[in-house]
Chain A
Amino acid sequence: MADGLAALPAPNWLGEAGLARCRRALDSRLTRETWKYSPLRKVTQALLDAPQTHAPPFADAPEQVRMRRFSALATPPAFKVSLDRYPLAGIAGAVAGDGWLVKVVETPDAPLRLQPAAPGVAAPVLLEVAAGCRVEIEEAGAGLSSFAARVVLLSLAAEAEVCWSRADLGAAAHGWSLLSAQLERNAVLTFNHQSLAEAFQRLDLCVALDGIGAQFNGTGAALAGTGAHLDLQVVVEHRGPHTVSRIKQHNLAAGKARCTFNGRIHIHPHACGADADLSNRNLALTANAEINTKPELEIYNDDVRCAHGATVGRLDDDGLFYLQSRGLTASAAQRLLAIGFLRSGLQGPFAKQAARAFVTQLSAANTG
């Protein structure tokens, strides 16, 4: 067991039983499977050793957003996440000791800016978006080289819409985060994620489409350079009828990088008319990159549409020749194809900034 885990006190909103469950789950077969490519022990230890940070998640939040510390609430909030699947969520919560309950009660006038994760373990955030509200969330990583961890549990009431854009463009960004979302009827969550990695970055994304017609759109692009260890774990639970998920993730390994993508789509028995589409494309510019991609499908209903694709490849020879035949040098042609590939996975307010960062990185690395 990691040092300090046994002595970790349980906050009242997690409870001794909850924390004990997390400790046990660290050793489960499921955890070993989902952490197959990442150093669970090291991350657990980093969580236990990291300082706590209790800054409010949103600075200058408008009046439509109400933030309270867990410790200031009359009754402890429900920490709604599967501790069996995400034991680190409970451990991070216990390390932080306190958390933030954030309620969006009306549509804010402007995008909410989530404070960049500071070094250490951030207080977990329960973010509740009221029925019919539309929220844009922008999260620009600080690119810190010290370990940062954050847990956000998001719930969207009926007809609520959240568009969340995250950019981790400081190559040194290093850490683990969990975004777990639960969607009621016709709620829509869009998550755009772009990352430029040269260190360990793990993202667990878990979306429960509970209500009828709930929808998740996830788009991501990652450029992984030497030293990068990018691990994206996505789980979508289609529980309600006519729920929709669209996932597109483009990963480019430019040096001696390690990229893992695990996309799991689970269609439950009541999810008739569910429509799921997941595509993960990976390109390796060098021979010493390691790419792991594992699509997983579990379908318990016949009346569904499900497309699932994962590819690992190199830059397209025909494309390279086409560009060279127009005068571009081989390295310029490779760069343009690579940036085109990444751009196809960019979406949202950080898309331009990310594309620029990718171009700069690819030019500097002269990877192609």
Chain B
Amino acid sequence: MSLLQVDDLHAGVDGQAILKGLTLRMDAGEVHALMGPNGSGKSTLANVLAGRPGYEVTSGRLSFKGRPLDQEAPEVRAQAGLFMAFQYPVEIPGVSNMEFLKAAQDSHRKANGLGPESPVAFMQRVRTLTEGLALNPEFLKRGVNEGFSGGEKKRNEILQMLLLEPTLAVLDETDSGLDIDAMQTVASGVNRFRSANNGVLLITHYQRLLNHVVPDFVHVLADGRIVESGGKELAHALEERGYAWLTA
């Protein structure tokens, strides 16, 4: 059974077709990179997977661990192990990052019939993860993403991924806007996370991330369809030649 199976997916927003027959299959243990020009539909795919309201599937199939996704509420998908790192993480004033992380973890545990972890054990784990991402522990006390720099927001997404241990992580341009050190920190976070039991879908514009997180497959999305798939060498070819030769 595949981790993720997307068959001939057509989806859009407000009646406007964006994904036009997208097919993608991922197995556990794999890292897939999804590249493609601006506006080709990468974030749309991520949002459709995560169940964002307003994104409608018009035809095709979408299943996660063998179970159809398209009717599920976003929280049910998350509790089942699907995680999306947002291209633009949302600020939530008045809710501390720590409180948010606790609520997120508790909801996952509850869905699995578990009570909340002891606060001490929880805080210890969060602190360790925070240090590993070179995030100042003060970030845990601040409002979720409130006043965080672009790079801090992205690292905060990775922190959530490491805490929640999803089986499929869709990272939407988590490398954009990161300085070289932060990019390495994020990359090593993803490398620590990847295992034989989970999968990562890396949406990126840059070869640089893929030097650190070496993908098993690279796909090119153009105008709502995957127009080319290959191994890691495809990313190098894109870096040299751009997208025009594929979309022409």
Q: Which B residues lie at the A interface, using CB under 8 A? A: 50-53, 73-75, 77-79, 83-84, 86, 89-95, 99-100, 103-104, 107-108, 111, 143, 160, 164
Residue in B closest to A322 when the chains form the complex, CB atoms: B90
Q: Smallest distance from the beta carbon of B113 to chain A beta carbons, Å?
A: 14
Q: In the complex, which residues of chain B have a beta carbon less than 8 angstroms from the beta carbon of A316?
A: 90
Q: Smallest distance from the beta carbon of B242 to chain A beta carbons, Å?
A: 32
- CB contact between A344 and one of B53, B79, B94 (< 8 Å): that residue: B94
Stretch of A12-20, A28-36, A325-333 that contacts chain B: A325-333
A40 within 8 A of B: no
Contact A328 to B103, CB < 8 A, known contacts A323-B92, A337-B92, A343-B94: yes
Q: Smallest distance from the beta carbon of A219 to chain B beta carbons, Å?
A: 13
Contact A327 to B164, CB < 8 A, known contacts A321-B53, A337-B95: yes
Contact with B along A299-324 (1 / 0, CB 8 A): 00000000000000000111101111
B74 and A321 contact, CB distance less than 8 A: yes
A344 and B93 contact, CB distance less than 8 A: yes
B52 and A321 contact, CB distance less than 8 A: yes
Not counting A336-B103, A337-B92, a sample of 8 additional A-B residue pairs whose C-beta atoms are within 8 angstroms of each other reads A319-B91, A321-B90, A325-B51, A325-B52, A325-B78, A326-B107, A330-B75, A339-B94
A340 within 8 A of B: yes
Q: In the complex, which residues of chain B have a beta carbon less than 8 angstroms from the beta carbon of A333?
A: 75
A322 and B86 contact, CB distance less than 8 A: yes
Q: In the complex, which residues of chain B have a beta carbon less than 8 angstroms from the beta carbon of A327?
A: 75, 78-79, 104, 107-108, 111, 164
Residue in B closest to A328 when the chains form the complex, CB atoms: B107
A89 within 8 A of B: no
Q: Smallest distance from the beta carbon of B81 to chain A beta carbons, Å?
A: 10
23 contacting pairs across A/B (C-beta < 8 A):
A316-B90, A319-B91, A321-B52, A322-B90, A323-B92, A323-B100, A325-B78, A325-B83, A325-B86, A326-B103, A326-B104, A326-B160, A327-B78, A327-B104, A327-B107, A327-B108, A327-B164, A328-B103, A336-B92, A336-B95, A340-B93, A340-B95, A342-B94
Q: Determine the distance from Cα of A318 to Cα of B93 in the docked complex, in whole angstroms.
A: 13
A341 within 8 A of B: yes
Q: Determine the distance from Cα of A322 to Cα of B78 in the docked complex, in whole angstroms.
A: 11
Q: Which A residues lie at the B interface, using CB under 8 A? A: 316-319, 321-330, 332-333, 336-337, 339-344
In this complex, which of B53, B74, B84 has the most chain A Cβ atoms within 10 angstroms of its Cβ?
B74
- CB contact between A341 and one of B90, B93, B103, B107 (< 8 Å): that residue: B93
Residue in A closest to B110 when the chains form the complex, CB atoms: A327
Q: In the complex, which residues of chain A have a beta carbon less than 8 angstroms from the beta carbon of B86?
A: 322, 325
Q: Determine the distance from Cα of A116 to Cα of B126 in the docked complex, in whole angstroms.
A: 43
A340 and B92 contact, CB distance less than 8 A: yes
Q: Smallest distance from the beta carbon of A309 to chain B beta carbons, Å?
A: 15
Q: Determine the distance from Cα of A326 to Cα of B104 in the docked complex, in whole angstroms.
A: 5
Q: In the complex, which residues of chain A have a beta carbon less than 8 angstroms from the beta carbon of B53?
A: 317, 321
Q: In the complex, which residues of chain A have a beta carbon less than 8 angstroms from the beta carbon of B143?
A: 340
B74 and A332 contact, CB distance less than 8 A: no
A325 and B95 contact, CB distance less than 8 A: no
Q: In the complex, which residues of chain A have a beta carbon less than 8 angstroms from the beta carbon of B91?
A: 319
B95 and A339 contact, CB distance less than 8 A: yes
Q: In the complex, which residues of chain B have a beta carbon less than 8 angstroms from the beta carbon of A328?
A: 75, 103-104, 107
A325 and B84 contact, CB distance less than 8 A: yes
- CB contact between A322 and one of B51, B77, B92, B99 (< 8 Å): that residue: B92
Closest 8 CB pairs of A and B: A340-B94, A327-B107, A343-B94, A326-B104, A340-B95, A322-B90, A324-B74, A344-B94
Q: Smallest distance from the beta carbon of B227 to chain A beta carbons, Å?
A: 28
Q: Determine the distance from Cα of A325 to Cα of B46 in the docked complex, in whole angstroms.
A: 11
Q: Determine the distance from Cα of A187 to Cα of B79 in the docked complex, in whole angstroms.
A: 54
Contact A341 to B94, CB < 8 A, known contacts A325-B50, A327-B164: yes
Q: Determine the distance from Cα of A132 to Cα of B90 in the docked complex, in whole angstroms.
A: 45
Q: In the complex, which residues of chain A have a beta carbon less than 8 angstroms from the beta carbon of B73?
A: 324, 330
Q: Smallest distance from the beta carbon of B48 to chain A beta carbons, Å?
A: 12
B94 and A319 contact, CB distance less than 8 A: no
Residue in B closest to A326 when the chains form the complex, CB atoms: B104
Q: Smallest distance from the beta carbon of B129 to chain A beta carbons, Å?
A: 15
Contact A326 to B78, CB < 8 A, known contacts A321-B53, A332-B103, A336-B103: yes
Q: In the complex, which residues of chain A have a beta carbon less than 8 angstroms from the beta carbon of B51?
A: 324-325
Q: Determine the distance from Cα of A306 to Cα of B74 in the docked complex, in whole angstroms.
A: 42
Q: In the complex, which residues of chain A have a beta carbon less than 8 angstroms from the beta carbon of B103?
A: 323, 326, 328, 332, 336
Q: Smallest distance from the beta carbon of A192 to chain B beta carbons, Å?
A: 15
A324 and B78 contact, CB distance less than 8 A: yes
Q: In the complex, which residues of chain A have a beta carbon less than 8 angstroms from the beta carbon of B90?
A: 316, 318-319, 321-322
Q: Smallest distance from the beta carbon of A344 to chain B beta carbons, Å?
A: 4
Q: Smallest distance from the beta carbon of B56 to chain A beta carbons, Å?
A: 15
B100 and A336 contact, CB distance less than 8 A: yes
Q: In the complex, which residues of chain B have a beta carbon less than 8 angstroms from the beta carbon of A329?
A: 75, 107
Q: Determine the distance from Cα of A344 to Cα of B147 in the docked complex, in whole angstroms.
A: 14
Q: Determine the distance from Cα of A337 to Cα of B99 in the docked complex, in whole angstroms.
A: 12
Residue in A closest to B79 when the chains form the complex, CB atoms: A327
B100 and A324 contact, CB distance less than 8 A: no
Q: In the complex, which residues of chain B have a beta carbon less than 8 angstroms from the beta carbon of A337?
A: 92, 95
Q: Determine the distance from Cα of A10 to Cα of B240 in the docked complex, in whole angstroms.
A: 91
Q: In the complex, which residues of chain A have a beta carbon less than 8 angstroms from the beta carbon of B78?
A: 324-327
